[in-house]
Amino acid sequence: MGSDADAKLVRQESQGAENGNKGEKRWSLTDFDIGKPLGRGKFGNVYLAREKQSKYVVALKVLFKNQLQQSQVEHQLRREIEIQSHLRHPNILRLYGYFYDQARVYLILEYAAKGELYKELQRCKVFSEKRAATYVASLARALMYCHEKHVIHRDIKPENLLIGLKGELKIADFGWSVHTCNRRRTLCGTLDYLPPEMVEGKEHDAGVDVWSLGILCFEFLYGTPPFEAKKHSDTYKRIVRVDLRFPSKPVISTSARDLICQLLVKDSAQRLPLNKVLSHPWIVNNADPSGVYNGHN
Ligand code: AMP
């Protein structure tokens, strides 16, 4: 992928945008051959699909308008489309375009051939330090790119990460991302990945993604997020206190634990900046420079 076919898809996408609603070339379902279902989401299903002209393989996400309306997430979807379609980074899932009919909205997404990172972590239980560091470095690069564009993801967790054909990590799902903060709806899902300032409903900034990176790094190495507790209220307390405890098993290097400690800091201004994450010794010594986990270590 990323070849002539990619250029064709992009060209058509920008034509559609230029033409707006004037009735000229826009995407429609007839432009695609639909293949196997790739997964089921909260608001619809995702299918493997091929654009007929370019033969370019994509993932087509089909969302039902009535379900979006019922859950009052149309605004969120608009924001997701607006933000994700403008991002171009090897570790961010491309959104090539969208179209709709009476009942559904269709998102034309980059196909992540190796599926969900979450399932990989469930299968492996924990990742090796090399694999974890490769993913953390990829995430740090993608988040730096987002933050330079004043986009905060705010929902970095294993369920929102996909794996490409070569094993490269792709951030998906910009449903909670923002240019500015939106405090009202941040506590709907799991608390596990949220920083103290967000669980306490305080102002927050790009530092929230740095915190989530620390949570993920811990989870990759130990198999569970650090502040997990049976009760929501206990997770809340542990996050606010930064009650960070490293299990004795598996044995993890001091260097990895040092990075986690520098990311999971209560004061967001004191968290390790993302460029320094990339030069941290644990990343330098463990992350694959190609950014791809090749499955051998
Ligand atoms: P979602 O509605 O985004 O949660 O997607 C539902 C499921 O479809 C995910 O859990 C993935 O297994 C799969 N999926 C979604 N997007 C893609 C994609 N771009 N490439 C491959 N699989 C995907």
Contact 126, 251 (CB under 8 A): no
Same structural domain for residues 68 and 101? yes
Query: Of 69, 88, 110, which marks where a domain is finished?
Result: 110
pLDDT at 220 over 90: yes
The count of structural domains within the chain is: 2
Same structural domain for residues 259 and 122? yes
9 located within any domain: no
Same structural domain for residues 209 and 268? yes
13 located within any domain: no
Question: pLDDT per residue over 134-165, tens digit each?
Answer: 999 999 999 999 999 988 888 889 989 999 99
Structure confidence at residue 134 (pLDDT): 98
172 located within any domain: yes
CA–CA separation, 192 and 2 (whole Å): 35
Tell me how far the alpha carbon of residue 180 lies from the centroid of ligand 1, in angstroms.
Answer: 26
Contact 133, 287 (CB under 8 A): yes
2 located within any domain: no
pLDDT at 10 over 80: no
Structure confidence at residue 297 (pLDDT): 55
Q: Which residues are catalytic?
A: 155
CA–CA separation, 69 and 103 (whole Å): 11
Same structural domain for residues 74 and 173? no
Question: pLDDT per residue over 158-168, tens digit each?
Answer: 989 999 999 99
Same structural domain for residues 71 and 140? no
The annotation status of 66 as a binding-site residue, yes or no, is no
Same structural domain for residues 93 and 125? no
Residue 186: helix, strand or coil by DSSP? Answer: coil
Q: Which of 46-50, 51-55, 183-187 has the lowest mean pLDDT?
A: 183-187
Q: Which of 65, 88, 127 is nearest to 10 (CA)?
A: 88
Token pair for residue 262?
Answer: 């520098």
The pick from 162, 165, 171, 176 for probing ligand 1's pocket by mutation, whose C-beta has the most ligand atoms within 8 angstroms, reads: 162
The annotation status of 160 as a binding-site residue, yes or no, is yes
The annotation status of 125 as a binding-site residue, yes or no, is no
Overall pTM > 0.75: yes
Name which residue sits closest to atom 21 of ligand 1, judged by CA: 112
Q: Which atom of ligand 1 is nearest to the CA of 170?
A: 19
In sequence order, which ranges of 149-263 are alpha helices (DSSP H)? 196-199, 207-222, 232-241, 254-263
Tell me how far the alpha carbon of residue 92 lies from the centroid of ligand 1, in angstroms.
Answer: 14
Name which residue sits closest to atom 3 of ligand 1, judged by CA: 41
Same structural domain for residues 252 and 147? yes
296 located within any domain: no
Query: Of 71, 93, 110, which marks where a domain is finished?
Result: 110
Structure confidence at residue 293 (pLDDT): 82
Q: What residues contact residue 288 under an 8 Å CB cut-off, 6+ apart?
A: 130, 134, 294
The annotation status of 286 as a binding-site residue, yes or no, is no
Same structural domain for residues 188 and 57? no
Same structural domain for residues 157 and 257? yes
Is the C-beta atom of 281 inside 6 A of ligand 1? no
Same structural domain for residues 43 and 124? no
190 located within any domain: yes
7 located within any domain: no
Same structural domain for residues 123 and 242? yes
Tell me how far the alpha carbon of residue 57 lies from the centroid of ligand 1, in angstroms.
Answer: 14
Query: Of 110, 140, 159, which marks where a domain is finished?
Result: 110
Same structural domain for residues 138 and 162? yes
CA–CA separation, 141 and 239 (whole Å): 25
Q: What is the CATH number of the domain that holds 93?
A: 3.30.200.20
Residue 74: helix, strand or coil by DSSP? Answer: helix
On the 0-12 / 13-18 / 19+ scale of CB atoms within 10 A, 56 is buried
